[in-house]
Structure formats: C-alpha cells, structure tokens
C-alpha cells in the first residue's frame, strides 16, 4: 500500500534577514543553505499494517506524512501510495472557518472522495462520533482545537480510507474520546486500512502500533518492534543530551552555590535487571550506576539524584543528608556510586540526573550533568507522574485490562 524508495525532501533556509530594500536591488540574491527534512528514507507497508513514527521535534515526521498525503513532492526518490488516503496532519486542515460544521463535513467528505449521497447516509454517524450535535450548524471559527480535531477525525474515519495518516490526533480530546478513536482505528484496521501514526505520546504509539520507526535528523534510525523503537528513541535522546549539555548540575541545597569542580564522572548507566533501562514497566527495579573520580581531596561529599518528568517537573529526589560524615576521598581516588530505586512512576518520559557537592551542599564539585532519559510504560488506565497502584472494583470485581483496543491485537 505504501512504498518509499530513497526519499529525500530538501528545503532552502535563508541565512540573513529578509529586507524589502535589499530584495529590490537588481541581481540581489539572498544567502541560503540546504536543509534536508528527510534523507534516504526507505519504507514499505502492506495492507492492514499499522506503523508508528517517533522522533524529536524537527526529525521529519510531519514532512513524511505530507509526502504520503501528496501535499508536497519529494526532492529525491519515489513515493507510492495506493488507494484512498485520509490525512489528519493538522488541526482543522481543509476546513473553511466561515462555514458551519455541517457544511465542512460535506466539503471535507467530497475532498476525500465521497459523493453527496454517500455523505448523506453517513452524516448522522459522523456527527454522533464527533459529539458535536448541538454545534454542528455553528461556524467552525468558534470551535476549539479539540472540536476541530474531533470533527476532522470523524469525517476521515467514515470515508472508508485505504490509507489513514494521523498526526497527534490522540493529543486532543478527553480520555473517553481517545479510547473511542482507538476503537474506531482498530475497526478500520481490521477492514484492511493501512495506518501511519505520528505522536509524541509514546504510550499511545506503544499501545496502538505493533511496529514503529525512529526518525533522527531526517533519517530512519530504527525500524522494528515498537518497544525496541522506544528504547532506541531514548538511547538517541540521551546521546543528543550528552552533546548539548554544557551547564553544571542543579544542586539541591538552599543558598548561594559556587562552582568548585574537582569531580569527574567517567561512567554513567541506568540499568534494569536485563541491561540498559531505556524502556521499563511501572514498578521496575532500576539502578543508576556512576564511576566518580576525585581530582582533589573531598571530605564527605553529598550525592544528589533527581528524577524529572518530560516537562521538567520534579518527580523524585534522593540525596545523602547534609553534613553527613560518611567518607573522605584523596586526589585521584575513585568510587562506584549506585542509586537503587523502584520506578513507581506513571507513564511517560523521565530524566534522571545527579550532582556531587560539598558536604554543606553549597559547593558544586561536578562539572556537568547529562540527564539520562527513560520511558515508563503505565499500568492500563493510569495517568500522572505517580503510580499509586490503584485498582477499580465493581461489586468487588477488579476492572484491570484496557489494552484490548490496541491496534496490534488481531
């Protein structure tokens, strides 16, 4: 259904500010450089395949969807897509803001290949799915982003597409609507629809997509099972953070801090029972292992470990107490430091970092800190930073598994 062969997409990036006076000068050309959003991408999808696409911002995910949708053409290579394509690559794309929701249903439906008679037969189902019954005759310029996405998704999935392209559709709407979207995507997948889904919500990708690719700087860094793809994504993210880090750690002590230096971290690894911990289940036992070398004498240094969520919120912090007399180190001496903890965390991406300070916490001995990213898979139905191991019961019977709507389940 989909084949990409050596596909690349090039844009031109201006290197100077555009000025009207300069643009009017004869023979004046702006300085520009090449920017490859995609490079040498090869991909093949059969009927009924479901593919997740993950990667950092600017990796080329949306550009790939635009190529598959026919919105833009590749600079190099060849893109082949067979059958009716339903693209959801932007909130409200294809909507006329001055028209009502009803009118936009007909316009969008016809753009996706339906006749007026076919839309007439499906109109009530579309409106019911979008949950916009009382607003369907309101101009869409008054819709929220969630209403936009619900209506666009409802139209797309009721056109019987052979290929469905989805960009962050599950990021809009409440949990009930997200589950309904997943159920509908599972139904059309069972009917043979090929689905390509882009999302920063790795848990949605994990639940819905049995296969995923990781994009980095426009290239396919990994193509395979979704959990391996998530692990590879965090491995690359850790490498990127390592290249970009240049600042010192954030000490936990309150007061005026000063950079002292004198500590070199030669080895850092976040480990689970079976190896590096790029992706773990909630409740997994983890170890952060450090090899620390003291370049100058240090008396009773303080070690602080911090876990933060993807938005920077503090999830947990563990440190040795202030002014604790535990051990002194001579210049050139090294020590193996380990933090053992249980990932009682909700689903999402987390970062663990460490700092080494003087015993009073005011002198920073570490010269730099590089956060180590890892992904925690939440328990079914759980959200938030903390995993409180909650179980809902109905008349004493536990309600547990909500993964049955995943697209990877036959």
DSSP for 156-201 reads: HHTS--SEEEEESGGGSS-HHHHHHHHHHHHHHHHTT-EEEEE-S-
Q: Phi first, then psi: what are they for 328, rounded to 5°?
A: -110, 155
Domains of the chain: 2-238 (3.40.50.300), 250-377 (2.70.50.60)
Q: Are 317 and 307 in contact (CB under 8 A)?
A: yes
First to last CA, the chain: 19
Residue 346 is encoded by which pair of tokens? 């909700």
CA gyration radius, the chain: 26
Q: Of the candidates 181, 203, 376, which has an alpha carbon nearest to the alpha carbon of residue 280?
A: 376
DSSP H or E run through 14? strand 2-14
The Cβ of residue 181 has, within 10 Å, a number of other Cβ atoms equal to 24
Task: Quote the pLDDT of residue 246.
Answer: 47
Task: Quote the pLDDT of residue 252.
Answer: 44
Residue 216 is encoded by which pair of tokens? 């980095």
Task: Quote the pLDDT of residue 45.
Answer: 95
Task: Quote the pLDDT of residue 254.
Answer: 44
CA–CA distance, 78 with 188 (Å, rounded to integer): 27
Burial class of 142 by CB neighbour count within 10 A (0 to 12, 13 to 18, 19+): exposed
CA–CA distance, 238 with 223 (Å, rounded to integer): 19
Task: Quote the pLDDT of residue 342.
Answer: 93
Task: Quote the pLDDT of residue 178.
Answer: 74
CA–CA distance, 219 with 327 (Å, rounded to integer): 48
- Name the DSSP class of 139: B
CA–CA distance, 300 with 359 (Å, rounded to integer): 6
Q: Of the candidates 148, 131, 374, 396, which has an alpha carbon nearest to the alpha carbon of residue 268?
A: 374
CA–CA distance, 273 with 337 (Å, rounded to integer): 17
CA–CA distance, 83 with 236 (Å, rounded to integer): 35
Query: In angstroms, what CA-CA distances link 67 with 57, 62, 78, 173?
Result: 17, 9, 10, 27
Query: In angstroms, what CA-CA distances link 305 with 153, 251, 359?
Result: 43, 9, 15
- Name the DSSP class of 149: H
Q: Are 380 and 406 in contact (CB under 8 A)?
A: no
Task: Quote the pLDDT of residue 180.
Answer: 80
Counting as low any pLDDT under 70, the low residues of the chain are: 15-30, 90-93, 169-175, 241-259, 367-369, 380-382, 399-410
Task: Quote the pLDDT of residue 15.
Answer: 64
Q: Of the candidates 292, 288, 301, 291, which has an alpha carbon nearest to the alpha carbon of residue 353?
A: 288
The label of the residue with tokens 């599950």 reads 170
Task: Give exposure, 103-126, as e/b (b: 16+ Cβ within 10 Å).
Answer: bbbbbbbeebebeeeebeebbeeb
CA–CA distance, 350 with 339 (Å, rounded to integer): 16
DSSP H or E run through 21? helix 20-24
Residue 113 is encoded by which pair of tokens? 């290949």
CA–CA distance, 64 with 41 (Å, rounded to integer): 9
The predicted-structure confidence for 68-122, as pLDDT tens digits, reads as follows 998 899 999 999 999 888 888 765 567 888 999 999 999 988 988 889 999 999 9
The predicted-structure confidence for 289-305, as pLDDT tens digits, reads as follows 999 999 889 999 989 99
CA–CA distance, 183 with 187 (Å, rounded to integer): 6
Which residues fall within 8 angstroms of residue 391, CB to CB, at 6 or more apart? 398, 399, 400
């Amino acid at each position: 259904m989909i084949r990409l062969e050596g596909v690349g997409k090039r844009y031109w990036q201006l290197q100077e500010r555009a000025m009207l006076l300069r643009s009017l000068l004869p023979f004046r050309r702006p300085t520009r450089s090449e920017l490859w959003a995609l490079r040498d991408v090869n991909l093949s999808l059969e009927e009924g395949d479901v593919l997740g696409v993950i990667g950092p911002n600017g990796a080329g995910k949306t550009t790939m969807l635009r190529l598959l949708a026919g919105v833009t053409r590749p600079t190099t290579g060849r893109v082949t897509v067979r059958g009716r394509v339903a693209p959801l690559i932007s909130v409200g794309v294809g909507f006329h803001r001055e028209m009502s929701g009803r009118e936009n249903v007909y316009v969008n439906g016809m753009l996706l290949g339906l006749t007026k008679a076919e839309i007439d037969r499906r109109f009530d189902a579309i409106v019911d799915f979008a949950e916009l019954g009382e607003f369907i005759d309101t101009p869409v310029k008054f819709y929220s982003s969630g209403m936009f996405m619900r209506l666009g998704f409802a139209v797309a999935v009721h056109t019987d597409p052979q290929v469905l392209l989805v960009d962050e559709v599950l990021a809009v709407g409440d949990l009930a609507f997200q589950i309904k979207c997943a159920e509908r995507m599972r139904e059309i997948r069972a009917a043979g629809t090929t689905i390509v889904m882009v999302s920063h919500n790795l848990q949605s990708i994990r639940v819905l997509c049995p296969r995923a690719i990781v994009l980095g700087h426009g290239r396919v860094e990994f193509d395979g099972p979704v959990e391996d793809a998530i692990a590879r994504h965090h491995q690359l993210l850790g490498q990127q953070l390592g290249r970009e880090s240049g600042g010192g750690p954030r000490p936990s002590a309150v007061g005026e801090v000063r950079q002292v230096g004198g500590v070199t971290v030669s080895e850092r690894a976040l480990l689970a029972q079976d190896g590096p911990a790029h992706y773990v289940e909630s409740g997994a036992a983890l170890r952060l292992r450090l090899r620390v070398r003291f370049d100058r004498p240090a008396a009773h240094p303080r070690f602080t470990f911090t876990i933060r969520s993807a938005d920077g919120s503090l999830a947990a912090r563990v440190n040795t107490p202030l002014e604790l007399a535990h051990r002194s180190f001579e210049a050139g001496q090294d020590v193996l430091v380990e933090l053992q903890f249980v990932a009682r965390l909700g689903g999402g991406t987390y970062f663990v970092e460490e700092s080494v300070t003087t015993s009073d916490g005011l002198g920073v001995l570490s010269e730099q800190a590089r956060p180590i990213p890892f992904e925690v898979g939440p328990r079914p139905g759980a959200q938030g930073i903390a995993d409180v191991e909650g179980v809902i019961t109905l008349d004493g019977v536990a309600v547990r598994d909500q993964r049955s709507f995943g697209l990877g389940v036959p």
